[in-house]
Amino acid sequence: MYGAPVDLSFKNISSLTDTWIEEPNRGLRPLKRNSEMKYLSCSLRLSNNNITELHDLQKTISHFLAEPTHLTWLDLSFNKITHIDHVLCELRELRVLYLHGNSIFILSEVDRLGVLPHLHSITLHGNVIETNKNYRNRVISVLPRLKTMDFSAVTRQEQVLAKIWHRSGIPRPNKIHICNA
């Protein structure tokens, strides 16, 4: 029933409301629409834009998708996002989330995504949080259902070590401070 991703990449979009006047890029597979002219897709690409805020994400998803609650794959890579917004936690069917190449700097914000019951693949590399020495352990410990992180398989050993690390109570910094030298 669901077809190709709705692709709004490389549109120079700064605000999600800007997407509402855009036509999706044409891909190899044609996009199918329902009688209301909404797309029969469960995937949305918003990569390689200038998006900084996600507060209109639900409206944007509803604007384009015939069944917005069935969104399973969201690509927000290579934007200017600095925070993991709570709106992402409302996407209960989300399985794949690409956030790489942004400017996320508070590692503990990844914890919010732990409420997503089906999230099994995430990308966060290319964000400031990646410089934290506990980055991979932290993400795997708060998202225990992950199968891949940053396009790399999460091994059983990593899951076990992350669980031990999480239970050990090792202090986890909330922010990474960048010093101007």
pLDDT digits 0-9 by tens, 120-146: 999 999 999 999 999 999 999 999 999
- Structural domain range at position 138: 6-167
Q: Is the pLDDT of residue 36 over 70?
A: yes
Provide long-range contacts, Cβ within 8 A and 24+ apart, for 23-31: 24/64, 28/4, 29/3, 29/4, 30/3, 30/4, 31/3, 31/4, 31/6
Residue 153 confidence (pLDDT): 98
Q: In this structure, is residue 132 part of a structural domain?
A: yes
Q: In this structure, is residue 36 part of a structural domain?
A: yes
Q: Give Cα separations from 180 to 16, 106, 176, 177 (angstroms).
A: 32, 18, 13, 10
CA atoms of 127 and 133, how far apart (whole Å): 13
Q: Is the pLDDT of residue 178 over 70?
A: no
Q: In this structure, is residue 176 part of a structural domain?
A: no
3-state secondary structure at position 91: coil
Q: In this structure, is residue 173 part of a structural domain?
A: no
Residue 181 confidence (pLDDT): 37
The count of structural domains within the chain is 1
Of the candidates 148, 58, 47, the one whose C-alpha atom is nearest the C-alpha of residue 99 is 47
Give residue 147's pLDDT band: very low, low, confident or very high (50, 70, 90): very high
Q: In this structure, is residue 172 part of a structural domain?
A: no
Q: In this structure, is residue 104 part of a structural domain?
A: yes
Q: Could you tell me the two tokens for 169?
A: 């109570």
Residue 69 confidence (pLDDT): 97
Q: In this structure, is residue 41 part of a structural domain?
A: yes
Out of 35-49, 90-104, 158-172, which region has the weakest mean confidence (pLDDT)? 158-172
Q: Domain holding 35: CATH number? A: 3.80.10.10
Q: In this structure, is residue 181 part of a structural domain?
A: no
CA atoms of 11 and 24, how far apart (whole Å): 9
